[in-house]
Structure 1
Amino acid sequence: MNIRVNGEKIELSSTVKVIEDLLVFFELQERLVIVEQNREIVTKEEYQSTKLGDGDEIELVHFVGGG
Structure 2
Amino acid sequence: MARPDGDPDAEPAVVPLEWDARTQGFCGELPAAAPGLHTVTVTAQDVPGGGDLSVGETLAVIDGAEA
| Higher RCO structure (Cα 8 Å, ≥6 apart) | 1
Scaled by the length of structure 1, the TM-score of the pair is: 0.27
TM norm structure 2: 0.27
Larger Rg: 2
Higher strand share: 2
